[in-house]
Amino acid sequence: MSAPQAHITVLLNEAVDALAIRADGVYVDGTFGRGGHSRAVLERLGPQGRLIAFDRDPVAIAAGQALGNARLTLVHSAFGDLDAQLDALGVARVDGVLLDLGVSSPQLDDASRGMSFRFDAPLDMRMDTSRGQTVAEWLAEATVGQITEVIRDYGEERFAYAIAKAIAAARAGGAVATTGQLAAIVEKAVRTREPGQHPATRTFQALRIFINQELEELTRVLPACVARLVPGGRLAVISFHSLEDRIVKRFMRDESRPPVFPARLPIRAADLPPPRLRLVGKAVRPSGAEVAANPRSRSAVMRVAERTEASA
C-alpha cells in the first residue's frame, strides 16, 4: 500500500486573490477540507473579519476546530444548506464565497473511506460518515436500470449497462461490499479503456458523486451564493470534472446576461432587468509548475463572477 499523499490545496493563491478580500469582510469557504484556502483567507482578514467554513466530513471539521481561530465559524453541513445555515448564524449577506468541489486527497488516501480502488476496503464513499447510505448498501438494493443510469450519467461511462449487469450477477452470490470486489467486477465488464486509466475509474467517480449528491448540492448552492453576496462580492468555484464545470459555467453565463423574454413582448433592451453577476476574467487553470508538483490538480478549472447592484 502506498503512503497517503499529503493534501495540497489547488489554485491556492489564485482562488484567494479572486475573492478580493476586504479585511473586515465576511466570507464563506464552502469546502473546508484541510483548511488550505481557509488559512489563506484568515491571513488576509483583519480582527473584525469573519470566515464561515462548511464541510460535511467530520474529520475536516475536527481539523478546523484544531485551528482555534475565533474568526472562524465551522459548520458541519453540506454547502447545499448554505441558506439555512447562514440564517441560523444570523448572517444575511457575505462578501465572498469559495467552493472547491470534489473529493480531497485525504479522503481518497484514507482506505477506510472506500473511495479508491487502490485499496481493498469497505465500499462506503460517503463524505459525511455520520449519516446516509453507503455505496455498498445502495448497490445491494438498486435495480440494473438504476445502476446503469448512475454510472452512465455521473461517470460518462459507455459500458454502464454491462457493468450494472455484472454487479447484479455478482451480488447474487453475496454482497458487493468492498472496493476490491467492485473494481474486479468492473475490470471484467469493461472491454477497453483509455491508456493509463483503470477500468473502474469512471464507475467509482459516478458512485461517489451519486451517493453524496454532489451535482444536486452544487445546483442548490449556486443561486443561494448569488442571493447572499453583497454588490461587489465575489463567487469563485473550482471544479475538477466536466459535469461540475458545465453546471458552473452555464449558471454564471446565464446570471451574467439579461433575462430572455418572448420576442413578441414589447420590451426595450434598455428596460430589461440587469443581470445579477458580472464575469471576472477567463477560466483559470493550474500552471505547469503546479501540475508537476501536484498531478491531481491537472483537471482543475476555476471560474469567478462578481455580484452586481441588481436586485434578486
83 marked among binding-site residues = no
Strand order in the sheet with 50-55: 72-76, 50-55, 26-29, 94-100, 229-239, 301-307, 277-279
CA–CA gap between residue 176 and residue 279 (Å, rounded):
46
Residue 279's H or E segment, with its range, is strand 277-279
120 marked among binding-site residues = no
Q: In sequence order, what E strands does 32-93 have?
A: 50-55, 72-76
Residue of 306, 162, 169, 174 whose CA lies nearest to 230:
306
Q: Which residue do the cell numbers 472496493 mark?
A: 179
Contact 63, 35 (CB under 8 A): yes
* Inter-residue long-range contacts of 249-255, CB under 8 Å, 24+ positions, other chains counted: 249/283, 249/303, 251/222, 251/223, 252/277, 252/279, 252/303, 252/305, 253/279, 255/226, 255/305
241 marked among binding-site residues = no
107 marked among binding-site residues = yes
CA–CA gap between residue 163 and residue 193 (Å, rounded):
13
CA–CA gap between residue 100 and residue 300 (Å, rounded):
9
33 marked among binding-site residues = no
Bin 43: left if φ > 0, else alpha if -120 < ψ < 50, else beta.
Answer: alpha
55 marked among binding-site residues = yes
24 marked among binding-site residues = no
* Contacts with 308 (C-beta within 8 Å, 6 or more apart), sequence order: 231, 274, 275, 276, 277, 278
C-alpha cell of residue 92 = 444575511
What residue numbers does the annotated binding site for S-adenosyl-L-methionine cover? 35-37, 55, 79, 100, 107
Binding-site entries: 35-37, 55, 79, 100, 107
